[in-house]
Amino acid sequence: MSLLGASEIRALAASLDLKPSKSLGQNFVIDANVCRKIVRTAGVTSTDVALEIGPGLGSLTLALMEEAHSVVAVEIDSRLATQLPITAKLHSDHPETLTVINQDALSIKELAFAPTVLVANLPYNVSVPVFLHLLEVLPTLRTGVVMVQAEVADRLAAKPNTREYGIPSVKAAWWASVTGAGSVSRSIFWPAPNVDSKLVSFTRRETPGDEELRKKVFAIIDLAFAQRRKMLRSALSSMYGGSGAAEKVLSAAGIDPTLRGEALDIAAFCKIAQQGLES
């Protein structure tokens, strides 16, 4: 398998008359070694069905095809989705192991392929919603590595009582444990973005409850972080019909009503939601 470097990426883009779109977060990786490293970090093996979101011109896709049993790539840009199987035929001995789907990742409801591992350089502007959506709708995804804007990576992997801890951290924790997996230089992209990037890896864990509980937990999380500086009893007052009622629910759940959302881990949010569901 020959991977794509800077000159191949530029030549491919020129042949497609492609001007990278900012709104679609089109910053293509031009360093084959980085692509191999990402695939290694994700621990992809020959039994894995790998899911890639936003394969672009195929840098990471070809590296994934070297290791995975098969690769499913979901790309919103039809020009890129049309070109990718052609590129795979030119560079891989097993182009039939790649399936390209021309779709918005946020509209995925299910996939016929039961992907086991997610490996993606996610489009920056939708990285959090896409990541959370995939965890929600694709329960066969057990692990993965995604490249995102550095600040977003820090938020996804953040622990309570830190500045970075917020809605993405605690919602991701419902499905998975998420950890930082290193920084990536701006120089490996074309065009070079004006933000730094980092990798995060995740491993799915058993969810703390069913869909009814998750919806309630997520509604509480949204309220708790809507105004970060508010104490929980006032942040949740609209949900429980006043701060006195919210205080009662919090106390019954064993949570100090004067805390702020940033102090609670996912287990504590679940305790509040369970209390609310029971009362």
List residues binding ligand SAM (CB under 6 A).
Answer: 24-29, 53-56, 59-60, 74-77, 80, 104-106, 121, 123, 126
Give residue number: closest CB to ligand SAM.
54
- Between strands 98-102 and 70-75, the pairing is parallel
Provide, rounded to whole angstroms, the least separation between the CB of residue 116 and ligand SAM: 19
Provide, rounded to whole angstroms, the least separation between the CB of residue 103 and ligand SAM: 7
Provide, rounded to whole angstroms, the least separation between the CB of residue 20 and ligand SAM: 8
Provide, rounded to whole angstroms, the least separation between the CB of residue 29 and ligand SAM: 4
Q: Considering the complex, state which of residue 55 and residue 276 has its C-beta at the smaller distance from ligand SAM.
A: 55
Provide, rounded to whole angstroms, the least separation between the CB of residue 237 and ligand SAM: 36
Q: Considering the complex, state which of residue 65 and residue 80 has its C-beta at the smaller distance from ligand SAM.
A: 80
Provide, rounded to whole angstroms, the least separation between the CB of residue 273 and ligand SAM: 30
Nearest to 186 by CA among 36, 38, 27, 35: 27
Provide, rounded to whole angstroms, the least separation between the CB of residue 105 and ligand SAM: 4
User: CB under 8 Å to 95, separation ≥6 — which residues?
Assistant: 85, 88, 89
Nearest to 141 by CA among 198, 207, 65, 224: 207
For residue 255 the two structure tokens come to 């949570």
Q: Considering the complex, state which of residue 28 and residue 240 has its C-beta at the smaller distance from ligand SAM.
A: 28
Q: Considering the complex, state which of residue 25 and residue 261 has its C-beta at the smaller distance from ligand SAM.
A: 25
User: CB under 8 Å to 107, separation ≥6 — which residues?
Assistant: none
For residue 235 the two structure tokens come to 């942040």
**CA dist 278 → 50, 209, 271 (Å):** 40, 14, 11
Q: Considering the complex, state which of residue 86 and residue 106 has its C-beta at the smaller distance from ligand SAM.
A: 106
CB atoms < 10 A from the CB of 89, how many? 12
Q: Which residues pair with 149 in a beta bridge?
A: 197
Contacts by residues 58-61 (CB-CB < 8 Å, ≥ 24 positions apart): 58/4, 58/83, 58/84, 58/87, 58/88, 58/91, 59/3, 59/4, 59/9, 59/28, 59/29, 59/30, 59/32, 59/35, 60/29, 60/35, 60/119, 60/120, 60/121, 61/88, 61/98
Q: Considering the complex, state which of residue 78 and residue 279 has its C-beta at the smaller distance from ligand SAM.
A: 78
Q: Considering the complex, state which of residue 28 and residue 175 has its C-beta at the smaller distance from ligand SAM.
A: 28
Provide, rounded to whole angstroms, the least separation between the CB of residue 201 and ligand SAM: 17
For residue 83 the two structure tokens come to 């070109």
Q: Considering the complex, state which of residue 105 and residue 255 has its C-beta at the smaller distance from ligand SAM.
A: 105
